[in-house]
Structures are given as C-alpha cells and as structure tokens.
Amino acid sequence: MNRCKRRAKTDKVDVKALLRLLQRYLNGERKAVSVVQIPTPDEEDQRRFNRERERLIKEHSA
C-alpha cells in the first residue's frame, strides 16, 4: 500500500473500527470478534504451577 495514501492511525480511527466490529457482533455476526476470558489470579497460579512442572519434567528427562 502506498504510504501517502495510508490514513493516520488515531484513537478516533481505532474507536470507529472497534464500534463497527461491536455492531456486527451485536447484529449476530459472532465471528466478527473473538471473546476471551481473562483467567482469575487462582487460575493463572494453577497454570503457572503446571507449566513449571512440565518444564521440570522435560528438563529432567532430557
């Protein structure tokens, strides 16, 4: 894309793009955005424990 023709990235441009995606989602187009859930601190602690355990097992068997 020609750099001269590119629009400047601004918060206003970002907000408009996000609003269009949200409108599509609310109109039933569920694939317009991906909804994710942020893990709770307890869930993240458990994940960290499991990752460390797997790393140690892999390191020990190498």
Q: State the residue for tokens 């949200």.
A: 22
- Answer whether residue 24 is part of any domain: yes
What's the pTM value of the predicted model, to 2 decimals?
A: 0.46
- Answer whether residue 42 is part of any domain: yes
Do 34 and 21 meet the contact criterion of CB atoms below 8 Å apart? no
Q: What is the per-residue pLDDT across 35-57, written as a single tens digit (0 to 9) for each?
A: 899 999 999 999 999 999 999 99
- Least Cα distance to 25 among 36, 17, 37, 33 occurs for 33
- What is the 8-class DSSP label of residue 1? -
- Answer whether residue 3 is part of any domain: no
> For residue 21, what are the domain limits?
11-61
- Answer whether residue 2 is part of any domain: no
Q: How far apart are CA 55 and CA 4, in angstroms?
A: 49
- Answer whether residue 26 is part of any domain: yes
- Answer whether residue 36 is part of any domain: yes
Domain count, the chain: 1
Q: Could you tell me what percent of the chain has a pLDDT over 90?
A: 68
- Answer whether residue 49 is part of any domain: yes
